Structure 1
Amino acid sequence: MANNKSASKRILINERNRLENRFYKGSVRRLIKLFTEQLEVYKTSQNQEDKVKAQMLLNSVYSLIDKGCKKNIFHKNNAARKKSKLTLQLKTV
């Protein structure tokens, strides 16, 4: 338990930040999984619509990663590495 006012404020701020970090990191993980599943669908079907869906998922992943990077949830190099890896997956299909 906190002994002074500033310590109790820090507890509240840490909890708020933890929830925000959890939202961004979890959302990015979920979207990456959806993206890889969509790539597998595209590999088997070779349908252009599936590739467009994968590209749309990639755009939404990029958006969330960039927002998280702006809010210091992801380090800029980590964000760049994630985006590069996803782009490479799309190009190799």
Structure 2
Amino acid sequence: MANTPQSKKRARQNEKRFAINKSRRSRIRTFLRKVEEAIASGDKDAAVTALRNAQPELMRGVTKGVVHKNTASRKISRLSSRVKAIAQS
């Protein structure tokens, strides 16, 4: 348990930050799930729209420190290639 005033304050800040980051992570996963569902349904237009909506959300997670930049780039790259494959088939 925190004893000093500074460590008590840090504990409070960590709790707030954890809650904020958790909601951001959840929001990002929701956007990614929508892209996955659109890809699974085979609807090209819905997949493209969902991907366009997910990209800024992922990059916002990068700027907020929730997701690593390379992780976000990798996810966007892999999803966009899968969306492109739908368009070609």
What is the correspondence of 1:35-54 to structure 2 with a 5 Å cutoff? Answer: 35-41=35-41, 43=42, 50-54=43-47
Separation in 2, partners of 1:86, 1:13: 35
Name the SS of the counterpart of 2:55 in structure 1.
helix
Map of 1:57 onto structure 2: 50
Q: Where do 5+ consecutive residues of structure 1 fail to align?
A: 44-49
Cα drift, residue 52 of structure 1: 2.3
- 1:58-88 deviation line (CA, Å, top 9, x unaligned): 1221111111101111111111111111111
1:68 and 2:61 matched: yes
Name the SS of the counterpart of 1:53 in structure 2.
helix
CA RMSD across the alignment: 1.4
The percent of aligned pairs where both chains have the same amino acid is 29
**What letter matches 2:14 in structure 1?**
N
Q: Which runs of 4+ in 1 moved over 4 A?
A: none
TM-score (norm 2): 0.84
Equivalent pairs, count: 86
Separation in 2, partners of 1:60, 1:18: 25
Name the SS of the counterpart of 1:38 in structure 2.
helix
Separation in 2, partners of 1:9, 1:68: 25
Separation in 1, partners of 2:36, 2:6: 45
Separation in 1, partners of 2:85, 2:10: 46
TM-score (norm 1): 0.81
- 1:7-53 deviation line (CA, Å, top 9, x unaligned): 11111111121112211211121221221111222x2xxxxxx4222
